[in-house]
Structures are given as structure tokens and as C-alpha cells.
């Protein structure tokens, strides 16, 4: 019905509501994340994976909505004077990424980053009014289920506007650079081309999710094609119970008897008590 002629706005589209802002307004520090030491990521706890929405490994999707729905991260920072915010670490990492892209002659711009619950309500209602609820649900995250609300997701485009928020972005030189280099800065392509059955969303080569450099690199090396799959392997490892402590064996009847007898003997071995208080075998 509505498929023909509808731009690939999808879940993170916001171009209809906000003009793209160039992220290179201010020169930023050279890419430091590139020299990040290779090391195995610290194993996360189960809480970090399933309960703590402030964790860089928090999973947010239709099946895993934010709680409370109007959750707002505490450490939002502007990204390179773009007017878009991300959480502090993600903001610094994205500035490094954009700077490194410029050095490689790729003019990437930040199109959208943190979106509040209220902003998502407004976006979603706009899509519903235009396309009806069914289609709106397919192209946009319902309020409280958008990864952008975590302050860890960013939509990247080209300064030329070519293929912005469209699948063909993945085939541009900038899109390919992003796919190859994002992990060095702690980002993953959250909705890969063959991941719809697992992620619930179509291919979005422009949508980055920050999970930290160690995990982004570990995920790239792993066989997990999606964040869901990577998160599941971490969760499985976190759930693995430690080897149970060997339970002390209960004493045998003979041991109990022997112990009782030795105690009884002690009672009669002076000097072991204050004789003035008399005997008290009941103690």
C-alpha cells in the first residue's frame, strides 16, 4: 500500500523533522581510539547485560523496552558542536571517528543522536498520522523502545546527502569506511544487512551503536552477526555458575560417637572447670 515511493526513513529517520547538521564545525582531537590497546573485554555481569540501562551493553529493542519508558541518560554531551548529544564516552568516540574519517577524505556528518522519549512520541505520532499505525511500527521505533533514547546510537550520513538514511549508504565510499572502521572507535553497525530476523529491523548501514572499543572489536572478531547474538553469548558466560564449593561430608555415626566419648572424658580431666560451680553435664 504505502511501500512504493516511501523513502527509507525507517526507525531512526528524522530528516523530515530536522535538517542534517555538519559535524565538522569545530576541529576535534586526532583519533586516539585508533591506538586503543588490544585487550580482552572485561566480562560483564548479568545485571550489566539485562538490568542496567546505563551499561554500554544494554539491549533495547521492541522486546526489550526501556524501563521507565521515559528513561534519560545522565551524562549527555554535545558531539562536536553539532547540536546532537550522546553520552559522554560515546560523544568523544564519535568525535574521534568523524575526525579520522575526514583525514581519510570521507565527509561524514551526524544526522541524529540522542532522542528523548517525548521526541520519539512526536516522531512516532507523525509517522502514524502519515502512514497508519501498522506501517509506522515497521519504520519507526515506538516510544520507549528506541536505542537513540539510550544516548548511545547515532545516524551517520554523507555531507552531500547522497543515500542518507537509505540502504545505498552502505555502498558509498563513506558507508564502507564506516563499516570498516567503526569498531576501532567502539561502535557497531547495529542493524546489519542479514540481521532483520534477529534485530527486527531492516539493514541500516547508517545507524551506529556505541558498546565500547573492547566489545566492538571482540564482536567483530566473534561469529555473532548481531548485537543480540553477541549479547546472548556474554549473558551465557555471565550465567555460568562458579564451581560449587565441596560440601563438607556429614560425620559418620562412628565419628559422632567417638567425639561424644572424647568430650565426656574431658569433663573428668582436671583442671578444666571451676569446681566450685559443681558439675553441669547438661551444658
By CB under 5 A, residue 151 contacts Zn ion:
no
**Among the residue ranges 21-29, 47-55, 99-107, 149-157, the one whose residues contact Zn ion (CB under 5 A):** 149-157
Which residue stretch of 117-125, 147-155, 221-229, 231-239 sits at the interface with Zn ion (rule: CB under 5 A)?
147-155
- Interaction residues for Zn ion, span 215-254 (CB under 5 A): none
Q: Does 207 bind Zn ion (CB under 5 A)?
A: yes
- When asked if residue 166 is in the footprint of Zn ion (CB under 5 A), the reply is no
Residue from 12, 79, 98, 150 that binds Zn ion (CB under 5 A)?
12
Which is nearer to Zn ion, 32 or 61 (by Cβ)? 61
Pick between residue 100 and residue 152 the one whose CB is nearest to Zn ion: 152
User: How many chain residues touch Zn ion (CB under 5 A)?
Assistant: 3
Which of these ranges, 161-169, 205-213, 232-240, 263-271, lies near Zn ion under the rule CB under 5 A? 205-213
Q: Does 110 bind Zn ion (CB under 5 A)?
A: no
Is residue 209 within the footprint of Zn ion (CB under 5 A)?
A: no
Among 85, 95, 155, 184, binds Zn ion (CB under 5 A): 155
Cβ nearer to Zn ion, comparing 207 with 217: 207
The stretch among 79-87, 119-127, 154-162, 192-200 that binds Zn ion (CB under 5 A) is 154-162
* 163, 169 Cβ separation under 8 angstroms: yes
Binding site for Zn ion (CB under 5 A): 12, 155, 207
Amino acid at each position: 500500500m504505502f511501500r512504493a515511493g516511501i523513502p527509507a526513513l525507517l526507525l531512526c529517520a528524522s530528516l523530515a523533522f530536522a535538517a542534517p547538521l555538519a559535524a565538522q564545525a569545530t576541529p576535534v582531537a586526532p583519533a586516539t581510539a585508533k591506538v586503543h590497546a588490544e585487550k580482552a573485554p572485561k566480562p560483564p555481569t548479568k545485571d550489566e547485560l539485562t538490568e542496567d540501562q546505563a551499561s554500554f551493553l544494554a539491549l533495547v529493542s521492541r522486546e526489550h523496552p526501556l524501563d521507565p519508558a521515559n528513561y534519560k541518560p545522565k551524562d549527555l554531551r554535545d558531539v562536536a558542536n553539532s547540536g546532537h548529544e550522546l553520552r559522554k564516552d560515546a560523544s568523544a568516540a564519535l568525535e574521534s571517528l568523524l575526525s579520522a574519517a575526514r583525514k581519510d577524505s570521507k565527509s561524514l556528518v551526524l544526522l541524529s543522536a540522542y532522542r528523548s522519549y517525548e521526541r520519539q512520541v512526536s516522531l512516532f505520532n507523525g509517522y502514524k498520522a502519515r502512514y497508519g499505525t501498522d506501517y509506522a511500527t515497521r519504520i519507526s521505533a515506538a516510544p520507549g523502545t528506541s536505542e537513540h533514547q539510550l544516548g548511545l546510537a547515532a545516524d551517520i550520513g554523507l555531507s552531500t546527502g547522497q543515500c542518507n538514511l537509505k540502504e545505498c549508504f552502505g555502498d558509498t565510499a563513506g558507508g564502507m569506511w564506516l563499516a570498516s572502521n567503526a569498531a576501532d572507535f567502539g561502535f557497531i553497525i547495529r542493524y546489519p544487512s542479514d540481521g532483520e530476523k534477529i534485530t527486527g529491523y531492516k539493514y541500516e548501514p547508517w545507524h551506529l551503536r556505541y558498546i565500547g572499543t573492547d566489545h566492538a572489536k571482540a564482536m567483530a572478531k566473534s561469529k555473532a552477526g548481531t548485537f543480540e547474538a553477541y549479547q546472548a553469548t556474554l549473558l551465557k558466560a555471565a550465567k555460568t555458575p562458579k564451581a560449587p564449593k565441596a560440601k563438607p561430608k556429614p560425620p559418620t555415626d562412628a565419628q559422632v560417637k567417638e567425639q561424644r566419648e572424647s568430650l565426656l572424658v574431658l569433663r573428668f580431666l582436671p583442671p578444666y572447670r571451676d569446681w566450685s560451680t559443681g558439675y553441669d553435664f547438661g551444658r
